[in-house]
Chain A
Amino acid sequence: MERISTQGELEALRHRLQASHDPDQLIVRVCRGPGCLAQGADKVARAFREVIAAKGLEAEVKPLIKETGCHGFCKQGTLVNLAPANLFYVQVKPSDVEEIVETSLMKNEVVERLLYSENGTRYRSAAEVPFYKLQQKLVLRNLGLIGLLSTEDALMAGAYQAAAKALTQMSPNQVIKTVEDSGLRGRGGAGFPTGRKWRSAVKAAQKSPGVVYVICNGDEGDPGAFMDRTIMEGDPHAVLEGMIIGAYAVGSHTGYIYVRTEYPIAITNLSLAIEQARQLGLLGKNILGTGFDFDIQINRGAGAFVCGESTALFSSIEGKPGEPRPKYVRSVERGLWNRPTVLNNVETWANIPLIIQNGSEWYANIGIPNNTGTKIFSLVGKVNNVGLVEVPMGITLGKIVEEIGGGVPGENGFKAVQTGGPSGGLLPAKLKDLSVDFDTLTKAGSMMGSGGMIVMDQRDCVVDVTRYFLHFLEEESCGKCLPCRLGLKAMLEFLNRFSKGQGSLADIDELESLGRAIMDTSLCALGGSAPNPVLTSIKYFRDEYASHIVDKKCPAGVCKDLITYRIDPEICNGCRVCARICPQQCISGEKKKPHTINSSLCIRCGMCFDECPVNAVIVE
């Protein structure tokens, strides 16, 4: 594609592309998000190509097959959208493709069995599905629409319009003012006002003239979180565009995107997007003829959770070990290479073009005051509609879990939700009317974090879950400061004792005191927020801790030292499923007669419990 050297040329190119697009063109959009890919999206796309070629459809109707970014409804993958009929097929397997091609592409009819159905209703298009209906897709608007790696699609969807507007019609100060007025707060977790951050960077650069850096933090490492990954994979141009605007506002000419190596698709797609933008003249020297120079390079992280912390990220880019440094001088003043640096999260950068394009007032009206805009959450765990959701700030926790998420499957009931990743907090179901915004979540002892949301039911033990998160953080601690290196291990020792039914009630208070000490004295935010799951789980589930210690019982039936499995002879029909599956072979009994478990050999793996067709296995 030729180089664009003015805003007019960009506009003309977009119009030319839109004019050449036939609205009746058949388009098959196959989701290639992380969830669908794991369920064989690439095979589905290949099957479409093969079947269409085999049927000779290419000559007459020429259907376009686009592999797109994440559509969001990961639980129902592989997702396929057909345009212009606007049909939405779920759980598509390669074997279904032939039927779709024959029915929907050739005869323009609907394959009923592949439509999404809920409570007896079948939904033809995605917009009608309750999961999507309650969402407000702004940052994710292009995902699922534009083909991966297609500059044409991105440009048609309006990519770089905002950057052109900022560079040609606005002064850097106006850009910062717009971002300030929009009320946008950093989506990486802490919720620092983005506009204020930029303003401070400009001030710092005035005090010490020289290089200024803008960095995109794509080091998403929370278990169960994939918001930033899907944006980087599905709409990389939005991130680049946000960074161009930010760089223009703060007077930077060098940008870095820090992505973990565990995200190879994100790295590939971003690299290609950067290459495409350079070819179009949207990165490099003299962007759009305005005389503004800016280029971006990708820095691959080695997958350390702590490198998502700003100062550790700088150390990592500088080629040092990824360890944080104490920051009593803020990174906008002394960041990367000790120069003023603006570091924002992927989602924050992706919000910037929207704000510039639509104005600060439009943005400020979304969400609630002081927490404007939308937030993307990855809704995972014991919830029916696992997936990626984008909702306006200030929506209640219950609405996300029960309405968008479709509630908790099975009969165990909604117990808690962990927001903000491993160092966030465990919020109980009774707080489901809690407004999901930065301030309310922090007040409740949790945090927004980057947007992971792990839903738990009554079969999840809080002591066990807290142990899991602490173990993760202990492994990810860099070991630079003592409270984090020794403290996480020490808290884990307390929890390990509790899970064995040891310890005393006073130990719960001691653990709280230790948690507060670690929070107070740790060097960086990893240690500073690591006690969150411990403190919130004690705050909201102290009874459950007490039953481990005093009654020596795990109410959820998880902690292996405190539970026994037995078979209810009244219910057992002697089908032998459990006996066959037991890895210890400690279940015995005659066919069609009640079975028994030999407790002395049982390792409490729970396989019999999970597999019993009549629910005769009881855990106590």
Chain B
Amino acid sequence: MPKPTNNKVTGSAKGKAGEPPKDKAGFINFTIDGIPVQAREDWTVLETARYYGIHIPTLCFHEALQPAGGCRLCVVEAREGDWAKIVISCLYPPREGLEILTNSDRVLNGRRWIMEMLLADCPASPEIRKLARECGVTTTRFTIENPQEECLRCGLCIRVCEEIVGAQAISFGSRGVTKHVATPYMVPNDACVSCGSCVAVCPTLAAQTRLDKFRGDIALRTGHGYAHY
């Protein structure tokens, strides 16, 4: 029986943090980086990894929200015999006998490229630079279009506004390379309840920066005034 190390548990586990699985029935045995682990039936690979204190970087994941699988930083390699596939740990359900590698060459290659591209996409964010350094990326060869950009379009602010607050004051505008956070139909609205959840979940400081831009300027406000993206 592996001993879950509690010190790094972030509370993502749906069971009580630190409480070791009690019996064999209903638990899934697999390995992460060679360490034997046990997962509850509804856990994902990421939840299991966090329970055991195994670090997997994430950007668009938040314990309070449904995983969206957008940032792809949490990729891991799943192996079973000859079969191997890159999967995202925030959504992948483990199964008996699976081998998960969080640092294989394929995983690191994927993560390294994502970080290099993110450095060019939101160069103003210190959090992104820090995360990139962790992956061994310090410079980018790609074009920086907006040196002030902090937002990586992970959608956490939009999801928290919809799933937790229920306000739906913000959404994504446009799509693809021009996708950005905006109010629905790009029109200011008074659906915002000024709860600040979007600022709280933002993995960079993009939501705060935008808020600061509008705060105090009455002319730019309607209703409660947060929904001014």
**A residues in contact (CB < 8 Å) with B:** 304, 321, 325-326, 328, 474-483, 485-487, 489-490, 493, 513-514, 516-518, 520-523
Contacts and interface: CB of A to CB of B under 8 A. Distances in A.
A517 B176 contact: no
B176 A478 contact: yes
B153 A487 contact: no
Interface of B: 68-73, 75, 86-88, 91-93, 106, 109-114, 117-118, 120-121, 142-143, 152-153, 172, 174-179
B87 A474 contact: no
Contact of B72 (A477, A479, A482): A482
Contacts of A521: 72, 75, 86, 88, 110-111, 114
Given A490-B142, A520-B86, A521-B110, A485 B179 contact: yes
B117 A520 contact: no
A481 B72 contact: yes
B69 A523 contact: yes
Contacts of A321: 172, 175
Contact of B153 (A485, A517, A522): A485
B87 A328 contact: yes
Select the residue from B69, B73, B75, B92 with max chain A CB neighbours within 10 A: B69
B128 to A, nearest CB: 11
A486 to B, nearest CB: 4
6 contacts: A321-B175, A479-B175, A481-B72, A490-B120, A518-B113, A521-B86
Q: Which of B71, B109, B111, B117 is packed against the most chain A CB atoms within 10 Å?
A: B117
Contact of B88 (A326, A513, A517): A326
Nearest 3 pairs of A and B residues by beta carbon: A479-B179, A486-B117, A520-B86
Contacts, number: 95
B69 A481 contact: yes
Contacts of A490: 113, 117, 120, 142
Contact of A483 (B72, B92, B143, B153): B72
Contacts of B71: 481-482
A198 B195 CA distance: 47
Question: Which of B73, B93, B153 is packed against the most chain A CB atoms within 10 Å?
Answer: B153
Contact of A486 (B69, B110, B121, B178): B121
A480 B154 CA distance: 8
Given A328-B87, A328-B93, A487-B117, A493 B179 contact: no
B114 A485 contact: no
A521 B176 CA distance: 17
Nearest to A486: B117
B196 to A, nearest CB: 25
B153 A326 contact: no
Contacts of A493: 142-143
B47 to A, nearest CB: 14
Given A474-B177, A476-B176, A523-B72, A483 B114 contact: yes
Contacts of A325: 69
Contacts of B88: 326, 521
A530 to B, nearest CB: 12
Contacts of A489: 142, 177
Contacts of A513: 109, 113
A298 B141 CA distance: 46
A485 B86 CA distance: 18
Most buried by B among A475, A483, A486, A513: A486
A482 B172 CA distance: 15
Contacts of B91: 326, 328
Given A325-B69, A328-B91, A521-B114, 7 more contacts: A474-B177, A476-B176, A487-B113, A514-B113, A516-B106, A520-B106, A521-B110
B177 A477 contact: yes
Contact of B114 (A326, A476, A482): A482
B146 to A, nearest CB: 13
A616 B68 CA distance: 59
Contacts of B174: 479
A482 to B, nearest CB: 5
Given A490-B117, A521-B75, A522-B72, A482 B152 contact: yes
Contacts of A479: 153, 172, 174-179
A523 B87 CA distance: 9
A516 to B, nearest CB: 7
A328 B152 CA distance: 25
Contacts of B179: 478-479, 485
Nearest to A524: B69
A517 B114 contact: yes
A391 B110 CA distance: 39
A480 B111 CA distance: 17
A388 B120 CA distance: 44
